[in-house]
Amino acid sequence: MKQRRHKAPGLPPGTLTAPAGAYVPKTIRVIHFTADAVEEIEVPSARDVARYRDKEGVTWINLDGLGNVEMIRELGELFGLHPLALEDALTVHQRPKVDDFENHLFIVLRMLHFEADVETEQVSIFLGPNFVFTFQEHPGDCLEPVRDRLRKGTGQLRRQGADYLVYAIMDAVIDNYFPFLERVGEVVENLENDVVADPSSRTLGRVHDIKRNLLDVRRAVWPLRDAINALLRDESPLVRKPTRPYLRDCYDHTVHVLDIVETYRELAGGLMEAYLSSVSNKMNEVMKVLTVIATIFIPLTFVAGIYGMNYKWMPELGWRWGYPAVLIFMFAVAITMLIIFHRKGWLRGRKED
Amino acid sequence: MKQRRHKAPGLPPGTLTAPAGAYVPKTIRVIHFTADAVEEIEVPSARDVARYRDKEGVTWINLDGLGNVEMIRELGELFGLHPLALEDALTVHQRPKVDDFENHLFIVLRMLHFEADVETEQVSIFLGPNFVFTFQEHPGDCLEPVRDRLRKGTGQLRRQGADYLVYAIMDAVIDNYFPFLERVGEVVENLENDVVADPSSRTLGRVHDIKRNLLDVRRAVWPLRDAINALLRDESPLVRKPTRPYLRDCYDHTVHVLDIVETYRELAGGLMEAYLSSVSNKMNEVMKVLTVIATIFIPLTFVAGIYGMNYKWMPELGWRWGYPAVLIFMFAVAITMLIIFHRKGWLRGRKED
Amino acid sequence: MKQRRHKAPGLPPGTLTAPAGAYVPKTIRVIHFTADAVEEIEVPSARDVARYRDKEGVTWINLDGLGNVEMIRELGELFGLHPLALEDALTVHQRPKVDDFENHLFIVLRMLHFEADVETEQVSIFLGPNFVFTFQEHPGDCLEPVRDRLRKGTGQLRRQGADYLVYAIMDAVIDNYFPFLERVGEVVENLENDVVADPSSRTLGRVHDIKRNLLDVRRAVWPLRDAINALLRDESPLVRKPTRPYLRDCYDHTVHVLDIVETYRELAGGLMEAYLSSVSNKMNEVMKVLTVIATIFIPLTFVAGIYGMNYKWMPELGWRWGYPAVLIFMFAVAITMLIIFHRKGWLRGRKED
Amino acid sequence: MKQRRHKAPGLPPGTLTAPAGAYVPKTIRVIHFTADAVEEIEVPSARDVARYRDKEGVTWINLDGLGNVEMIRELGELFGLHPLALEDALTVHQRPKVDDFENHLFIVLRMLHFEADVETEQVSIFLGPNFVFTFQEHPGDCLEPVRDRLRKGTGQLRRQGADYLVYAIMDAVIDNYFPFLERVGEVVENLENDVVADPSSRTLGRVHDIKRNLLDVRRAVWPLRDAINALLRDESPLVRKPTRPYLRDCYDHTVHVLDIVETYRELAGGLMEAYLSSVSNKMNEVMKVLTVIATIFIPLTFVAGIYGMNYKWMPELGWRWGYPAVLIFMFAVAITMLIIFHRKGWLRGRKED
Amino acid sequence: MKQRRHKAPGLPPGTLTAPAGAYVPKTIRVIHFTADAVEEIEVPSARDVARYRDKEGVTWINLDGLGNVEMIRELGELFGLHPLALEDALTVHQRPKVDDFENHLFIVLRMLHFEADVETEQVSIFLGPNFVFTFQEHPGDCLEPVRDRLRKGTGQLRRQGADYLVYAIMDAVIDNYFPFLERVGEVVENLENDVVADPSSRTLGRVHDIKRNLLDVRRAVWPLRDAINALLRDESPLVRKPTRPYLRDCYDHTVHVLDIVETYRELAGGLMEAYLSSVSNKMNEVMKVLTVIATIFIPLTFVAGIYGMNYKWMPELGWRWGYPAVLIFMFAVAITMLIIFHRKGWLRGRKED
């Protein structure tokens, strides 16, 4: 929800400023691999990474936090990353996109965290000929399985290039949306019962929360879909031909996520309708009771009022059976009305409505 | 509704895992045909299919269940099916699509089952130069007429190639949507009477069910339309020129299905409107009765209250004709009000509204 | 509304089956014309048409009914019509479309009939180099003026080729939508008064009918617009250059029809809003009367109730002017309330609201 | 609103018929100009115009009324105007469009008249190499400033060709939409106060009128925008290169009109919402008064009823201070209830809501 | 909201007229810079600017007010600005756009001012090979940081050409939208609490204001996005290749602004829903209280009425314990009803709903 932008308007482009409250990472995590070997180290400064620049194999440099601007500037200069891209990497709340800076691609993704609430974290990826940078906002990510595959050499990850590693990272990030959507599915199913059984405004609040979360996911995935599509269409030399089917698969997954999101949005819209209809049904039930009670007793009270008048000459009052007669008459009126109401279906309560 | 994805996030692509609770098929059904002959066998293992790979004619290999991952892997290796496509075939709840893997096309369809409820089952089709694979989730399908046409040699099915067989399968799957839509049409027609005659929340629930079913069908057919269109546009060599008019026919059918679905969705939206209007009309009728009764009897009760007061000096109470006079007065007031209400149209009940 | 499809799912494509309850035509109507002469005959069998196949001039073969499948198959074979097109011609409830089968074009239109209700009838047109086929569902059509122009030689119809005849037929079918739309315009104008003056649910039903009819027309014309556009864009050799401006005119007419339909749909949507607002206004009027009556008499009845109590010591009851005083007090209360209500605008009735 | 079409369905295309009730012009207004001179005459018949056909300079022929079909046919034949275009010029209620007939362009515009109500009048323009025709429905137009510029030689109008004159005419017609939109803006601003202060159904009617007028303007300008765009894109030789920036300016104006129209439509939609909310607020206010009065007096009347009972043994009735005590009790109950209602905010009236 | 257009319809294009009430600037601000030096002067007349026309380096000419038409015409003639562009620069309330006049680009932007209310001011930019014009409506802008960067030589602004300066100006204008959007975000967050806690019509008015402001921003940014995109796509020689990535960054910012605007519009729509639901909940609460009170006391009053009748023979009235018995009976009825209502959940008040 927060759309803060750290840069003061009018600053020169490419000015690197850490986002407010950014996490300051102590070390840079470097994974270097070839088809045969993998090396994983943590180094404290950008200079320690320099020697990987021209080394055979692929180097994955990961930074968990955007607080150390100097380190990021140094890394950028070492590997020739474009200042505008670095600025965007430091500007959290970017939309997902792919920018082609000729000697490297710059990719922005949004990683989903969901526990109590749903948060998205910006992941900026730089794809060069033999290196991959990933900048994250906080420590902790969903990329551990990718690192494990590198370490264990499962699959073809180590035998492929940097572009395949980027695919694997993107795939891991997108795959992580599915468990969230499953949970949304369960919540929607529960809410479907709740809006009918107990339509309180707390239920409504939860429907609104779900809709907002889905909106957040949609905003994170929709531009990503277009970006991957542009990547497939523009044929950058940094993405080799054998990697394209995998990117297309990635594209299919984003389409799938959007598809589910749209379905849940339609269901949430239906929940809103059901809620309003349920509230209105309950209100109608209340009104019906008032109508039935009032419609029966108001005329009877009038009759009682008649015989409560103090006229001198009211012959009925003197009759021996006047009182029982009026009681029987009142009873008959009430029964007649109840029968009429029953026929009109006004006595049927909540069971049916 | 269930959007389960079996793969754990971060697994290498092309990892084959059976979907949870997948049916384990005992045998593979193989139909091999040429223009002159047809051979239909059931074999227990993938190796028995190998000899059809380079055989003259067309081979249709059908698997009713995705539980035997090993068998699927073997078939894939034998016929050179792409691992990503195999992974998608095992990932049920895919969107319909057509992927071109150069030496074979991979097509995902959704087959409709409707008895008590509406379910869609994933059918994955692999189209090679001389073979067709169909992977289904459960035994039992709507392709028996296609098999009959192969067995009996009716039509041109046996004289055409693998692409025409795929067309025939797709056509059978899509044709199967029409009986469902006819049933939806009948339900909508019934509901149109029900929402006016008896707008209970059960009616509303059925409207919602219809809308959700139509949404499911739309989600199954909309991407299929685009996929067939892409197939026609991209001109894969696997789809020969004479088969194209048939695919275009197939495309027309998906457009037709979507057209009917949209119409029913509009009608279902109208049902919702009619329901709300009907509920509100009923409520108004109830309120009018309360108004008429209360508006007539409240003033009369007031008059009775007047003459029920115990003032010493109330001359009317001593009059000889006071009581009949007040009764006549009350009667006149009631009649006057009824006439006014009648003129305002408040006494006209449900017949007109 | 009925979306029946006659073909059983899974039948081979090109299978010709008469639609259920199809009219069986006794004869085929043939009009052959050159710039100088016109010949109009009715023949009982397809063989009698054969001699027109290679004859100089243009032949228009019209069949009023789809019940005689054998006759249609023979005609198709004689003139080389594609089986898929013939199947579509027999499948009523097709969407309008134009299919190019190289040696002939296949065009589906929907002809509008409106008397008590609105019905559309499928007209299938085959355009060959020197022949035009028109297949209709029932006898009786709106093409008589075209035949008259052929008979009398008015305009350039007889001097032009088969493509111009098809244009003339399409134009006649589309022109026939305008009188219907004029009638809709009148109905909408009447309904605009009715929803305000007398918002019964019958009015609502008529609004719904209008909306559904407009939906039907839209579904008949929208794809036709796209089809004509495709025809103009694809430049089939069967449509000669001088005929193109006329087709563009035809296209303009479909756009015009859609434009009017959209306007009426917006107006019908406004009618719905006006209806709901009118119903709610009427209900509010009813509620206001209840409020005014109840709010005035409930306090007065309470006062009467006070002096109806049987306390021994109630000094007012003994006062000489107690009764007139309480009457005057009650009257004053009622007048005060009426003045307040008048100021709040609650007494203003339907004239203003 | 009226969508009359004069042509009977099935007539041959290019049949010229005057629209029903068309104004019959007595003369044709001809303005011939070169860079140095301007000649303005009114001639009674088409033959008098013939001599301008091949004359140096540009000729603008204007006809104020479509009643004289013969005159229009003669003009068309003299200058080689396409019969279909002439038919369209006589068919009022055309959508704006641009048709390219190779030797001339045919442009349809809608001119706005607004006094009591909003009306659009069809202006048909034919643009040839050295002539411009303008056909209008009625005398009186917004083109007088263009004529003045021709007469006085201001601007570059006389130094440019026929295409620039057409631009000037189109610009004058489109510019005339802006004063109307300004008036709409004022009306919307007034209505914004009215819907809150005095939400009568007359207000609602005016909101509907505004929406319908905006819809009319939108229908007149939307296709015009597309038509001008097509004109810019298709590069007809009749529109010379230096005139293109002016046409682009014209295009910008149509986009601007649409932009304002859309804004006002959104505002009008907001007015509807505000109206409904305001009506519902007023109703709620009425209901609250009923609730407060009824809720206070119904229990009190019950208490009075208790002590109006005629039981022999009711000790309170004999008490010396019974009557004052019950009055005080009733007063206390009423005050307590008022305090509760005040706390719940039910006594706050219209000032806040 | 005001859509005034100063030009009288029908005036020749390129006629320069000052907008009504335009500010008349006293001086022209000129900033001339090369990579090494910067010169900033204020001159009183257009002639003083002439000498910068062919001078080495880039000249930025800024005019704060559109009231001096003569000065603008002179500047236009000196630098060869197109009359149509100058006319547009003087026509405030233009949509943002980019027009290519071959020897210069004409760009319209809308600058946002927000204090009490939100206003947009038109900024017209002319980009020539070595000059940049900026025309503003009023003194005071958000470009001071750009001027500072020129003065201090920070960044690469002084080393780049006129196109980069235009980028810097556009970026500053667009960056200025973000603080506004942050403020909108805060207001929306506050309103989310208000609509539930205290749904007065003042809240509703603020929701409407927010929606209208967002609409204004959207109308200012949406066409700008398309214009920048066209600039990137059309490859004008005035925009050099190294400047393109910066323009793309600018494009990304407009997309980001639109993204946030759309999100806030969705949230504002949700606020409206929440408001209506909250108002309706409050009304329901009021109605429930009426129902409960009326439903309990109306029957009890009837019972009291019974025993207030004056029949001679009413045995209960004579009973010793009749009065206590009837009181106990009434109490029991009231308690029973309360229990029933409690079970139906009608007594639960606002805490839960």
Is there a contact between A10 and E172 if contact means CB atoms under 8 Å apart? yes
Q: Give the pair of three-digit tokens for residue D141.
A: 């137009």
Compute the count of residue pairs across chains A and B with CB atoms less than 8 Å apart: 160
Q: Is the pLDDT of residue C348 over 70?
A: no
Give D-chain residues touching E212 at CB under 8 angstroms: 267, 270
**B239 CA to chain C: closest CA distance, Å?**
17
Give D-chain residues touching E317 at CB under 8 angstroms: 309-312
How far separated are the first and last CA of chain E, in Å rounded?
A: 39
Q: Is the pLDDT of residue C346 over 70?
A: yes
- D162's enclosing H/E stretch is helix D162-175
Specify the 3-state DSSP secondary structure of E82: coil
CA angle A332, A333, A339 (to 5 degrees): 90
pLDDT tens digits, one per residue of A263-312: 888 888 888 878 877 777 777 777 777 778 888 888 888 888 888 888 77
Whether E304 and D308 have beta carbons less than 8 Å apart is answered as yes
Specify the 3-state DSSP secondary structure of D32: strand
Give E-chain residues touching D251 at CB under 8 angstroms: none
Pairing of strands E97-100, E38-43: unpaired
Out of A7, A84, A298, the one facing E298 most closely (by C-beta) is A298
Compute the count of residue pairs across chains B and C with CB atoms less than 8 Å apart: 160
Out of D9, D301, D309, the one facing C178 most closely (by C-beta) is D9
Is there a contact between B274 and C208 if contact means CB atoms under 8 Å apart? yes
Please tell me the predicted confidence (pLDDT) of residue B33: 93
Is there a contact between E311 and A320 if contact means CB atoms under 8 Å apart? no
* pLDDT level of residue B41 (50, 70, 90 thresholds): very high
- Flag whether B246 is in a domain: no
pLDDT tens digits, one per residue of C271-306: 887 887 777 777 777 777 777 888 888 888 888 888
Tell me how many helices (H) and strands (E) chain C has.
9, 7
Averaged over B247-254, what is the pLDDT?
90
**A182 CA to chain E: closest CA distance, Å?**
24
- Flag whether A170 is in a domain: no
Please tell me the predicted confidence (pLDDT) of residue C353: 38
The alpha carbon torsion through C267, C268, C270, C276 (nearest 10 deg) reads 160
Is there a contact between E172 and A84 if contact means CB atoms under 8 Å apart? no
How far apart, in whole angstroms, are the C-alpha atoms of residue D183 and residue B14?
Answer: 65
How far apart, in whole angstroms, are the C-alpha atoms of residue E86 and residue E234?
Answer: 22
Is there a contact between E246 and A82 if contact means CB atoms under 8 Å apart? no
Please tell me the predicted confidence (pLDDT) of residue E107: 93
Out of B290, B297, B307, the one facing A299 most closely (by C-beta) is B297
Whether E2 and D139 have beta carbons less than 8 Å apart is answered as no
- CA–CA distance from A226 to each of A163, A222, B220, D162 (Å)? 18, 7, 22, 46
Give D-chain residues touching E94 at CB under 8 angstroms: 252, 256
How far apart, in whole angstroms, are the C-alpha atoms of residue A161 and residue A238?
Answer: 10
Averaged pLDDT score across all residues of chain E: 85
Read off φ and ψ for residue D74, nearest 5 degrees: -60, -45
How far apart, in whole angstroms, are the C-alpha atoms of residue E69 and residue E80?
Answer: 16
Averaged pLDDT score across all residues of chain B: 85
Give A-chain residues touching E252 at CB under 8 angstroms: 88, 94-95, 97
* pLDDT level of residue E350 (50, 70, 90 thresholds): very low
Is there a contact between D279 and C274 if contact means CB atoms under 8 Å apart? no
Contacts 24+ apart (CB under 8 A), B228-232: B228/B98, B228/B170, B228/B254, B230/B98, B231/B98, B231/B105
Q: Residue D284 sits in a domain of what CATH number?
A: 1.20.58.340
Tell me how many helices (H) and strands (E) chain E has.
9, 7
Q: Give the pair of three-digit tokens for residue C125.
A: 């047109």
* pLDDT level of residue B3 (50, 70, 90 thresholds): very low
- Flag whether A258 is in a domain: no
Please tell me the predicted confidence (pLDDT) of residue D348: 65
- CA–CA distance from A315 to each of B325, B327, E318 (Å)? 14, 13, 21
- CA–CA distance from E175 to each of A99, A334, E110, E224 (Å)? 20, 74, 12, 13
Q: At what angle do helices A244-306 and A162-175 cross, to 10 degrees?
A: 10
- Flag whether E268 is in a domain: no
Out of A201, A294, A321, the one facing E298 most closely (by C-beta) is A294
Averaged over A150-162, what is the pLDDT?
86
Q: How many other β-carbons are positioned within 10 Å of the β-carbon of residue D261?
A: 22
Whether B67 and B18 have beta carbons less than 8 Å apart is answered as yes
Give E-chain residues touching D353 at CB under 8 angstroms: 200-201
pLDDT tens digits, one per residue of B315-332: 878 888 888 888 888 899
Q: Is the pLDDT of residue C3 over 60?
A: no
Residue type present at position B36 = D
Q: Residue C140 sits in a domain of what CATH number?
A: 3.30.460.20
**B329 CA to chain C: closest CA distance, Å?**
17
Q: Select from A102, A122, A151 the last residue of a domain.
A: A151
Please tell me the predicted confidence (pLDDT) of residue B6: 46
Contacts of E195 (CB under 8 A, 6+ apart): E203, E207, E271, E274, E275, E278
How far apart, in whole angstroms, are the C-alpha atoms of residue E315 and residue E323?
Answer: 12
- CA–CA distance from A168 to each of A237, D62, E222 (Å)? 18, 71, 35
- Flag whether B339 is in a domain: yes
DSSP string, C233-284: HHT-TTS-GGGHHHHHHHHHHHHHHHHHHHHHHHHHHHHHHHHHHHHHHHHH
Phi-psi region of B21 (alpha: psi -120 to 50; beta: other; left: phi over 0): left
Q: How many other β-carbons are positioned within 10 Å of the β-carbon of residue E152?
A: 11
Query: Tell me, what DSSP letter sits at residue A51?
Result: G
Is there a contact between B306 and C310 if contact means CB atoms under 8 Å apart? no
H helices present in chain B, as ranges: 69-79, 83-90, 144-152, 162-175, 177-197, 201-234, 244-306, 315-318, 322-344
Q: Give the pair of three-digit tokens for residue E73.
A: 């015409």
Rounded percentage of chain A residues whose pLDDT exceeds 70: 95
- The neighbours of chain B, by the rule of 3 or more Cβ pairs under 8 Å, are A, C
* pLDDT level of residue E310 (50, 70, 90 thresholds): confident
Out of E15, E200, E219, the one facing D263 most closely (by C-beta) is E219
pLDDT tens digits, one per residue of C220-263: 898 999 889 888 888 888 999 888 888 988 998 899 899 889 88
Q: Is the pLDDT of residue E349 over 60?
A: no
Q: Select from A125, A151, A177 the last residue of a domain.
A: A151
- Flag whether C5 is in a domain: no
Q: Is the pLDDT of residue C101 over 90?
A: no
- Flag whether B243 is in a domain: no
Max CA distance (Å), chain D: 121
Range of the domain at B320: 281-344
Does ipTM surpass 0.90 in this model?
A: no
pLDDT tens digits, one per residue of E78-112: 999 998 899 889 988 888 989 888 889 999 999 98
Whether E221 and E257 have beta carbons less than 8 Å apart is answered as yes
Q: Is the pLDDT of residue D3 over 50?
A: no
Q: Is the pLDDT of residue A32 over 90?
A: yes
**C345 CA to chain B: closest CA distance, Å?**
19
Q: At what angle do helices C244-306 and D201-234 cross, to 10 degrees?
A: 160
pLDDT tens digits, one per residue of E223-254: 999 889 888 888 888 999 888 888 988 998 89
Please tell me the predicted confidence (pLDDT) of residue C275: 82
Give E-chain residues touching D256 at CB under 8 angstroms: 94-95
Is there a contact between E245 and A82 if contact means CB atoms under 8 Å apart? yes
- The neighbours of chain E, by the rule of 3 or more Cβ pairs under 8 Å, are A, D
Query: Tell me, what DSSP letter sits at residue B52?
Result: G
Is there a contact between B202 and A270 if contact means CB atoms under 8 Å apart? no
pLDDT tens digits, one per residue of B188-221: 888 888 877 777 777 878 888 888 888 888 888 9
pLDDT tens digits, one per residue of A78-96: 999 998 899 889 988 888 9
Averaged over C82-88, what is the pLDDT?
89
Q: Give the pair of three-digit tokens for residue D293.
A: 């009065």
Read off φ and ψ for residue C136, nearest 5 degrees: -120, 160
Averaged pLDDT score across all residues of chain D: 85
Measured between CA atoms, the residue of chain A closest to residue B10 is A172
Probe site for chain A from B2, B4, B11 (most A CB atoms < 10 A)? B11
pLDDT tens digits, one per residue of C20-76: 888 898 899 999 999 888 999 999 988 888 888 888 899 999 999 898 899 999 999
Out of A10, A323, A350, the one facing E314 most closely (by C-beta) is A323
- Flag whether C328 is in a domain: yes
Out of E295, E310, E352, the one facing A293 most closely (by C-beta) is E295
Please tell me the predicted confidence (pLDDT) of residue B31: 94
**D322 CA to chain C: closest CA distance, Å?**
7
Whether C172 and D12 have beta carbons less than 8 Å apart is answered as no
pLDDT tens digits, one per residue of B94-124: 889 898 888 899 999 999 887 777 888 999 9
Averaged over D228-238, what is the pLDDT?
86
pLDDT tens digits, one per residue of C103-155: 899 999 999 887 777 888 999 999 999 999 999 998 888 888 899 889 988 77
Q: Which residue has the higher pLDDT, E306 or B239?
A: B239
pLDDT tens digits, one per residue of C183-219: 888 888 888 888 777 777 778 788 888 888 888 888 8
Q: Which of E9, E180, E22 is nearest to E89 (CA)?
A: E22
How far apart, in whole angstroms, are the C-alpha atoms of residue E127 and residue E133?
Answer: 7
Q: Which residue has the higher pLDDT, E203 or A259?
A: A259
* pLDDT level of residue C352 (50, 70, 90 thresholds): very low
Beta-bridge partners for A112: A120
Q: Is the pLDDT of residue B178 over 70?
A: yes
Q: Is the pLDDT of residue B165 over 90?
A: yes
Please tell me the predicted confidence (pLDDT) of residue D169: 93
Please tell me the predicted confidence (pLDDT) of residue A10: 65
How far apart, in whole angstroms, are the C-alpha atoms of residue A287 and residue A284?
Answer: 5
Residue type present at position D34 = T
Measured between CA atoms, the residue of chain D closest to residue C184 is D3
Please tell me the predicted confidence (pLDDT) of residue D349: 52
Please tell me the predicted confidence (pLDDT) of residue E131: 93
- The neighbours of chain A, by the rule of 3 or more Cβ pairs under 8 Å, are B, E
How far apart, in whole angstroms, are the C-alpha atoms of residue A132 and residue C251?
Answer: 55
Q: Select from B152, B185, B215 the last residue of a domain.
A: B152
Averaged over B282-288, what is the pLDDT?
77
How many domains is chain D built from?
Answer: 2
Q: Is the pLDDT of residue A349 over 60?
A: no
